[in-house]
Amino acid sequence: MNIEDYTLITRHTVMASDLNMHNNLYGGILLNWLDEAGYIFAVETCKFSNLVTVALNNVAFKSPVKLGDIIEIYAKLNKIGRTSISIKLFAQNISVCHNCQPRPIIDCDIVFVRVDKKGKPQLIKKTKEKNYECQC
Ligand SMILES: CC(C)(COP(=O)(O)OP(=O)(O)OC[C@H]1O[C@@H](n2cnc3c(N)ncnc32)[C@H](O)[C@@H]1OP(=O)(O)O)[C@@H](O)C(=O)NCCC(=O)NCCS
């Protein structure tokens, strides 16, 4: 994994309300942040927003995150299929407890599917002007 291939999408400060009973960041909160960052990257890449998350793969939490830590979420395009966009996500933790040296916390894949008004998969078409068809 080379972070230089990725784009920084979001940053979050870990608040008291984000912690579990062990005083670590609750995993579900991080999944929420990953889903949001993936969605932002997908919309910016494809130029449409009618996307639903179909899969979040290879999720493993590598080290605990504590109150006041700063989480950075990076994304990189993996591939665009017929109806789906697959994105690589990477998150790192900046903590004063570790002299603010970034520590990797997750490295996973997220897949979104473009859907029509009935929620069925819709083709992702390329155009000459914008690369991908805009729905606006
Ligand atoms: C997303 C959804 C519309 C896909 O419908 P489907 O009938 O399963 O569609 P398909 O089997 O044709 O798959 C559509 C695309 O998703 C991809 N896909 C489906 N399941 C996948 C998985 N588990 N991992 C990776 N890609 C997956 C397929 O490869 C296909 O990609 P392609 O068209 O680029 O080749 C449907 O599963 C759905 O509505 N899911 C709920 C979405 C949702 O509510 N998400 C919010 C979180 S609850």
Tokens 């002007």: give the residue.
129
pLDDT confidence of residue 97: 84
Asked whether 78 lines ligand 1 (CB < 6 A), one says no
Q: Hey, how many other C-beta atoms are within 10 angstroms of the C-beta on 12?
A: 20
Residue 136 alpha carbon to ligand 1 centre in Å? 23
Which of 39, 52, 131, 123 shows the shortest CA–CA distance to 83? 123
Rounded average pLDDT over 121-127: 85
pLDDT in tens, 53-86: 999 999 999 999 999 999 999 999 999 999 999 9
Structure tokens at 128: 């000459």
pLDDT band at 132 (very low <50, low <70, confident <90, very high): low
Kindly state if the Cβ of 121 falls inside 6 Å of ligand 1: yes
Q: How far apart are CA 47 and CA 31, in angstroms?
A: 23
Residue nearest to atom 28 of ligand 1 (CA): 84
Q: What fold, for 3-132?
A: Thiol Ester Dehydrase; Chain A (3.10.129)
Q: What is the pTM of this model?
A: 0.93
Residue spans of the domains in the chain: they are 3-132
Using CA positions, which residue lies closest to atom 4 of ligand 1? 121
